[in-house]
Amino acid sequence: MLNKQRRKLIIPFLAPSLILYLVFFVYPTIKGLGLSLYQWSGFKLPVTFIGLENFKDLLKDDNFLVALKNSLFLFFVGGLVIFAVAFVFTSFLTSGIKAKDFFRGIMFFPNVIAPIAVVTIWQFIYNPRFGLLNGLLDVIGLGKFGQSWAAPGRIFPAITVIIAWIAIGYYLVLLLAAADKIPQDIYDAGRVDGANTWQMFWLVTLPMIWDVIGIIMVLWMISALKQFEIAYAFSSTGNVPVEAYTLPIYVVVMGFGMREPIYKLGYASAIGCVLLFIVVILTLLIRRIFKRENLQY
């Protein structure tokens, strides 16, 4: 009897959030999918139905391919760097080190700085004439390796480093939160068995937080593919060089023109649809890779 009454209560409690979700997420998504089949400047009419032409044009669009390549580069290469460093620090910080919270705070710090400030710092670091990076190389006798780090051919890897620098702390905190849930007696048992720090991490920590890693990977994938602000801020002048395009930047360039009057809202919607499709596919893929039986401890 009580269960039946409680079930009735679920609907009114669920309805407001469900309606908001449908209105502000599902409806715009469907609308965007529909818009991708039209040619439209965004300035009222005319709106012309062109079927899949926008998607066909994407395949021939070199600038779209640059944006796609950059977004995937950020996800894969940036992800590799972020998680390699985050895992090393997780291993280090779960080894019983003192001042763990201090190090965690230091690593998280870039996340609390405004992106524009972060970018300004890195522009100074990359400056080829008096920048910190070339200066450091000079000091340690490797001056011959000094570069124009943010030159057009290297601009996206340079941006990827900035994003990784910010993101490492964020994902480290998540990994550490997961690792903190592992019972101490499992580590104690490992130590009794003679496991070193690396073995403890590889054979105890990593398997025990495997499901959390899966979720973190999805979070990073979404964060990487929707990256806009750092690449935009790094261009400084408001005109992002094509070499620094990501998919979201290209959506804005084609749909809203930024400072150039392009205004192809249907085409921009098609790019958005591709982005959505990639996110869905990669999410399913990551969830499948990280799927396993729940651990009880």
Partner 1 sequence: MKKTKFAIFVLVTLSMVLAACGGQATQAPAAGATEAPAAGATEAPATGANVSLIYWSMWNESEPQADVLKLWMSDYTTANPNVTFEVTWAGRQVLTKLQTAISAGQKVDFLDMEGPALRGGLVINGQTVPLDTYLDQKLAGEDVTWRSIFVPGTLEELVADDGSTHVIPYELLTTAIWYDQRVFDRFNVQPPTTWDEMMAICSTMKADNFPMFTIEGNADVYNAMWYYTLIERMEGPGKLLEAAQDKTGAAWDNPNFLLAAQMERTLWDNGCIIEGGEGLQWPAGQMALANEEAAAELVGSWLPNEVKDSVAPGFVWRSFMVPNVPGGVGKSTDVEVYPLGWVILKDSQNQDVVADFLKASMSKAHSQQICDMSVNISARADTTPPVALQDATTAYLNATAFFLPYDGTNSTIPEWYNTFLKFHGQMFTGLITPEAYVAEMKAATIDFWK
Helix, strand and coil in the chain, % to nearest 5: 75, 0, 25
Closest CB to partner 1 among residues 64, 87: 64
Least distance CB 186 / partner 1 (angstroms): 48
Inter-residue contact 163 to 74 (CB < 8 Å): yes
> Of 226, 83, 77, 221, which Cα lies nearest the Cα of 156?
77
Inter-residue contact 269 to 263 (CB < 8 Å): no
Closest CB to partner 1 among residues 7, 98: 7
Closest CB to partner 1 among residues 42, 214: 42
Determine if the peptide bond prior to 157 is cis (ω within 30°). Answer: no
Least distance CB 40 / partner 1 (angstroms): 7
Least distance CB 142 / partner 1 (angstroms): 17
Residue type at 195 in one-letter notation: A
Least distance CB 118 / partner 1 (angstroms): 13
Least distance CB 26 / partner 1 (angstroms): 10
Least distance CB 278 / partner 1 (angstroms): 22
Q: What are phi and psi of 181, to 5 degrees?
A: -80, -15
CA-CA-CA-CA dihedral for 267, 270, 274, 279, to nearest 10: 110
Least distance CB 129 / partner 1 (angstroms): 5
Inter-residue contact 246 to 70 (CB < 8 Å): yes
* Residues within the interface to partner 1 (CB under 8 A): 11, 15, 19, 22-23, 27, 31, 34-35, 38, 40-49, 60, 62-63, 66, 123, 126-129, 147-155, 234-239, 241-243, 252-254, 256-265
What is the rounded distance in angstroms from the CA atom of residue 210 to the CA atom of residue 196? Answer: 20
Closest CB to partner 1 among residues 59, 112: 59
Residue type at 118 in one-letter notation: V
Q: Residue 231 CB: number of other CB atoms within 10 A?
A: 27
Closest CB to partner 1 among residues 12, 141: 12
Closest CB to partner 1 among residues 36, 223: 36
What is the rounded distance in angstroms from the CA atom of residue 180 to the CA atom of residue 90? Answer: 10
Closest CB to partner 1 among residues 119, 217: 119
> Of 289, 282, 165, 294, which Cα lies nearest the Cα of 219?
282
Least distance CB 274 / partner 1 (angstroms): 18
Closest CB to partner 1 among residues 38, 170: 38
What is the rounded distance in angstroms from the CA atom of residue 102 to the CA atom of residue 105? Answer: 5
